[in-house]
Amino acid sequence: MIRLHLLLLTLVTSVIGPVFGQPVEQQEEQPAISEGAEAKSKLPLEQLQTFADVFYQIREGYVEEVDDSTLFEYAVKGMLEGLDPHSVYMTREAYSDLQTQTDGEFSGLGIEIGRRGSYIEIIAPIDGSPAAEAGLQSGDVILKLDDTSVKGLSTDEAVDLMRGPVGSSILLEIGRPGEAKPFEVTIIRDKIKIASVRSRLLAPHYGYLRIAQFGRSTGQEAGEAIQKLATDGPLRGLVIDLRNNPGGVLEASVAVADLFLDEGEVVYTKGRHPSAGDSYSATSGDALSGAPIVILINGGSASASEIVAGALQDRRRGIVMGTRSFGKGSVQTVLPISESRAVKLTTARYFTPNGRSIQAEGIVPDIVVERAQVTSVEGRRITEADLQGSLTGDGEANPQDEGAESESLANLRENDNQLYEAFTLLKGFTLLAGSVPAAPASSPAEVASRESTDD
């Protein structure tokens, strides 16, 4: 038992020592601490004795033999999983997967997951992924993977089950809020190539910027997309679509927000350790020169996407529209503990410029617009121009015709009502600001000479 205790103390020291990037003995000298603080910093020997006793009983009495290193790994996993849904113990494979995801390409189903109680919840499917094409949605709960129940599994264990060769299939049993019974979905695994940024014009001078996740180069890609959208002239407005964006690299979210903020704080973090506190500010320059922005969010918008939405909302730089976001307001830091092992540890909470913590609260939209199916009930109407022998107009073309609804916008109204509402709000801003020329003014004599008839 003495040897076991020494092993345990060695493990605890090796884990605690380098948590913030340097061994205990290499940290800078700190001021003297009080007796209470010193007592608190000591290792809990009674609890460690209990742990050692349980470890010994498992090693000696469990029905199957388990080697010491495996038991220690189980213990470390359990210690982290008991903290919060985002703190995990990472093997070499898990760390490699994290790196490839932030670089923008990996293999699998294409979903961001978290724990909901004993089960696994889908935070958001990735655009164009097998999961998105199969119809999986934010808020869906995974109950089974093939024949294996996910109840009680960690997110890493669930990810291991979802991995597999490209082209192989996996059967998911899904529980969906609002559905009376679970249903099954078969998904074919594939290589996931994340298009971090996509863009297009909704109408002349009205841009659409879709950010699917925040990778290392997202800020640069977003800036280049805006320049391309403005090729034929300055943008009058921009919709930034962050729906079902599960987040990603913190610095990338700051870079995106910085594109539209001329100065001031974007986000700040606070944690127990001094190195966990930081502040990020915008640099000079607004890529849109003050043109209005609408930011679309929903329940699948999490983490880095909430940073962007919260910063632009607090700084009154854009209108947030849609539904309340996911509420992941914590920062995870990957901390190596050996050449092949690391822990992803929640080290801080992040706050919007006005001091709001998003953790478990989310971003509340300025204008709530639920996703809905919109069908026109008016149909084709008869106008004066349809009447036989009607007079033609006499005068200049109506400048409002420039904003008349095209067929593509009519389709958008029926297929994505949230984006359509964001676009119409942008047009309203432009009209109020006088960016669209007003109709020619009429003289008092002309007004007085007009006659109005109703048939």
pLDDT tens profile 49-69 = 999 999 999 999 999 999 998
| Residue 238, C-beta contacts closer than 8 angstroms, at least 6 positions apart | 206, 207, 208, 209, 226, 229, 288, 291, 292, 293, 294, 426
Give the pLDDT of residue 163.
81
So what CATH class is 197-368? alpha beta
87, 138, 253, 303: the active-site residue: 303
Average pLDDT rounded to a whole number, residues 250-279: 94
Query: pTM score > 0.85 for this model?
Result: no
Give the pLDDT of residue 372.
86
Helix (H) or strand (E) holding 37: helix 35-41
Percent of the chain with pLDDT over 90: 49
So what CATH class is 105-192? mainly beta
Give the pLDDT of residue 347.
94
Could you give the CA distance from residue 407 to residue 106 in angstroms, rounded to a whole number?
37
- Give the C-alpha distances (Å, rounded to integers) separating 400 from 155, 314, 397, 434: 53, 33, 9, 12
Evaluate if residue 443 carries a pLDDT over 80.
no
97, 190, 241, 314: the active-site residue: 314
357 annotated active-site: no
β-strands 319-322, 293-297 pairing: parallel
Query: Which is more confident, 379 or 418?
Result: 418
Could you give the CA distance from residue 340 to residue 90 in angstroms, rounded to a whole number?
9
Position 378 confidence tier, pLDDT thresholds 50, 70, 90: low
Could you give the CA distance from residue 296 to residue 10 in angstroms, rounded to a whole number?
50
Query: Which is more confident, 117 or 177?
Result: 177
pLDDT tens profile 227-259 = 999 999 999 999 999 999 999 889 999 999 999
Query: Which is more confident, 210 or 194?
Result: 210
Could you give the CA distance from residue 293 to residue 237 in angstroms, rounded to a whole number?
6
Give the pLDDT of residue 395.
59
| Residue 408, C-beta contacts closer than 8 angstroms, at least 6 positions apart | none
Evaluate if residue 40 carries a pLDDT over 60.
no
- The number of C-alpha atoms within 13 Å of 230 and in the hemisphere containing its C-beta is 15
87, 140, 258, 328: the active-site residue: 328
Average pLDDT rounded to a whole number, residues 311-333: 95
328 annotated active-site: yes
pLDDT tens profile 326-370 = 999 998 888 888 877 889 999 999 999 999 999 989 999 999 999
Position 31 confidence tier, pLDDT thresholds 50, 70, 90: very low
> Mean pLDDT of all residues in the chain?
81
Domain extent listing, the chain:
2-16+43-90, 105-192, 197-368
Give the pLDDT of residue 383.
73
pLDDT tens profile 412-441 = 888 899 999 999 999 999 888 764 444 344
Give the pLDDT of residue 374.
77
Token pair of 148 as six digits: 């294996």
pLDDT tens profile 393-413 = 665 655 555 545 566 777 788
127 annotated active-site: no
Give the pLDDT of residue 100.
57
